[in-house]
Chains A and B, each alone.
Chain A
Amino acid sequence: DAMVIQNPRYQVTQFGKPVTLSCSQTLNHNVMYWYQQKSSQAPKLLFHYYDKDFNNEADTPDNFQSRRPNTSFCFLDIRSPGLGDAAMYLCATSTPLGDYGYTFGSGTRLTVV
């Protein structure tokens, strides 16, 4: 089945230690998104790629970076995780207009110790 896969499902990292979360898709969608979701809140968009074009949200901290080396893969890098960065990180994909909805991965639960 075509899908969006996130690895790992659970990640524990130390305060200030760089961490990378990965996302892959078999849907061949042009657009890939990274969301941050804290407990009992709606997902918050961090950035998205339209093909290789990177679009950063204005309020996304500089601590968060992303790479998309090819259509299938996208990475979220957190350069110096703080305790406030502990959250569920969701990757999603869509067709260019997004009018058919987004396909989400299962998420990566990040814990910062």
Chain B
Amino acid sequence: AQSVTQLGSHVSVSEGALVLLRCNYSSSVPPYLFWYVQYPNQGLQLLLKYTSAATLVKGINGFEAEFKKSETSFHLTKPSAHMSDAAEYFCAVKNSGGDKVIFGPGTSLSVIP
């Protein structure tokens, strides 16, 4: 069965500092991987997705993530945090075919001025 873990339920960074949000997955086959962002009282918005093309994926708002098969990881990074990045971030995995997307538990990102 697929599963997703996100290390750190809360992460705080200073404005301008590197953002690193960790995601590890378990899947028996090469998966599709996603990062979503959720602002307070909003739905989830797709930040980026990995679908077996380039291992380094660039998304919206300056975020990127790297798929590392050997580490079963898909960590999300941004070189310089902005106050507007404060939100909840969810990593998600899906096998090819009709399987459902499995969401991780989420990481709440705080940005300190």
User: Is A98's beta carbon under 8 Å from chain B?
Assistant: yes
Q: Per DSSP, are chain B's interface residues mostly helix, strand or loop, or mixed? A: loop
Tell me which of B42, B97, B105, B108 contacts A42 (CB under 8 A): B105
Contact in complex: B44, A97 (CB < 8 Å)? no
A1 and B2 alpha carbons, distance in the complex (Å)? 34
**Interface hits, A65-113 → B, CB 8 Å:** 88, 90, 92, 96-107, 109
Contact in complex: A106, B32 (CB < 8 Å)? no
Contact in complex: B49, A98 (CB < 8 Å)? no
A6 and B96 alpha carbons, distance in the complex (Å)? 28
Contact in complex: A97, B34 (CB < 8 Å)? no
Most buried by A among B41, B90, B97: B41
Most buried by B among A99, A102, A109: A99
Across-interface contacts of B49 in A (CB, < 8 A): 99-101
Q: How far is the CB of B30 from chain A (nearest CB, A)?
A: 12
**Interface hits, B23-61 → A, CB 8 Å:** 32, 34, 36, 41-46, 49, 51
Tell me which of B42, B94, B101, B103 contacts A106 (CB under 8 A): B42
Contact in complex: A42, B90 (CB < 8 Å)? yes
Chain A's closest residue to B34 (CB) is A101
Contact in complex: A97, B43 (CB < 8 Å)? no
Q: How far is the CB of A53 from chain B (nearest CB, A)?
A: 11
Chain B interfacial positions (CB closer than 8 Å to A):
9, 32, 34, 36, 41-46, 49, 51, 90, 94, 96-98, 100-101, 103-106, 108
